Structure 1
Amino acid sequence: MATTTAIMNASAITATPRARRRPLRPARLLGYAFLILFAAAQLAPVLLMITNSFKTDLDVLNSPVGWPSTFRFENYAEIWQRADFGRYLINSVLVTAISVAALILIASMIAFYLARFDFRWNRALLVLFLLGLMVPLRLAVIPIFSLMKDLHLLDSLAGLMIIHVAERLSFAIFVMYGFALSVPREIEEAALVDGAGWGNIYLRIFLPLMRPALGTVAIVSAVSVWNEFFFPLVLIRSEENRTLPLGLATVMAEFRTEWALLFAGLTIAAIPIIVLFVLMARQFIDGMTEGTR
Structure 2
Amino acid sequence: MLASSPLSTSSTSATIMRKPTLIQRSFGQAGHLWVHTVLCLYAVIALFPIALILINSVKTRNAIFEGPMALPTAETLTFAGFQKVLAGTHFLLYFGNSLAVTVAALFLIVLFGAMAAWALTEYRFFGNRALNFFIAIGIMIPIRLGTVSILQLVVALDLINTRTALVLVYTAQGLPLAVMILSEFMRQIPGELKDAARCDGVGELSIFFRVILPLLRPAIATVAVFTMIPAWNDLWFPLILAPGEDTRTVTLGVQQFIGQYATDWNSVLAALSMAVIPVLLLYMAFSRQLIRGLTSGAVK
1:119 corresponds, among 125, 137, 141, to 125
| 1:21-60 Cα shifts (integer Å, max 9, x gaps) | x997011011111111111111112111111111111211
| Kept after mapping to 2: 8 A contact 1:59/1:69 | no
1:259 corresponds to 2:265: yes
Runs of 4+ in 1 over 6 A off after TM superposition: none
Superposed CA RMSD in Å reads 1.7
SS of match in other structure, 1:177: helix
Structure-1 residue corresponding to 2:296: 290
| Larger radius of gyration between Structure 1 and Structure 2 | 2
- Partners of 2:290 and 2:261 in 1: CA distance: 36
Alignment partner of 1:44 is 2:42 = no
Is 1:182 the equivalent of 2:188? yes
How far apart are the structure 2 equivalents of 1:245 and 1:33? 34
The change in CA–CA distance for 1:61 and 1:76 in structure 2 (over 3 A counts) is: same
Aligned partner of 1:152 in structure 2 is: 158
- Is 1:33 the counterpart of 2:37? The answer is yes
1: CA distance, partners of 2:264 / 2:237: 27
Query: Which residue pairs with 1:76 in the alignment?
Result: 82
TM-score by length of 1: 0.88
Contact 1:104 1:172 in 2 (8 A): yes
Q: 1:25 to 1:200 in 2, by over 3 A?
A: same
Percent identity (aligned):
32
State the 1:261 CA deviation. Answer: 2.1
Q: Is the 8 Å Cα contact of residues 120 and 128 (structure 2) preserved in structure 1?
A: yes
- In the TM superposition, what whole-angstrom CA distance separates every residue of 1:83-127 from its partner, at most 9, and x where no partner exists? 321111000000000000111000000000111111122222222
Cα-to-partner distance string for 1:225-256 (whole Å, 9 max, x where unaligned): 10111111111131110011111122223894
> CA 1:142–1:241 in 2, change beyond 3 Å: closer, same or farther?
same
SS at 2:246 equivalent: helix
The one of 41, 63, 82 aligned to 2:67: 63
Which of 208, 216, 219 aligns to 1:213? It is 219
Q: CA deviation at 1:272?
A: 1.1
Alignment CA distance shift 1:205-1:277 (3 Å): same
For structure 2, which runs of at least 5 residues remain unmatched after alignment?
1-24
Structure 1 unmatched runs, 5+:
1-21
Deviates more, 1:177-186 or 1:66-75: 66-75
Report the Cα distance in structure 1 between the residues aligned to 2:102 and 2:265, rounded to whole angstroms: 28
Mapping of residues 81-230 of structure 1, within 5 Å:
81-230=87-236
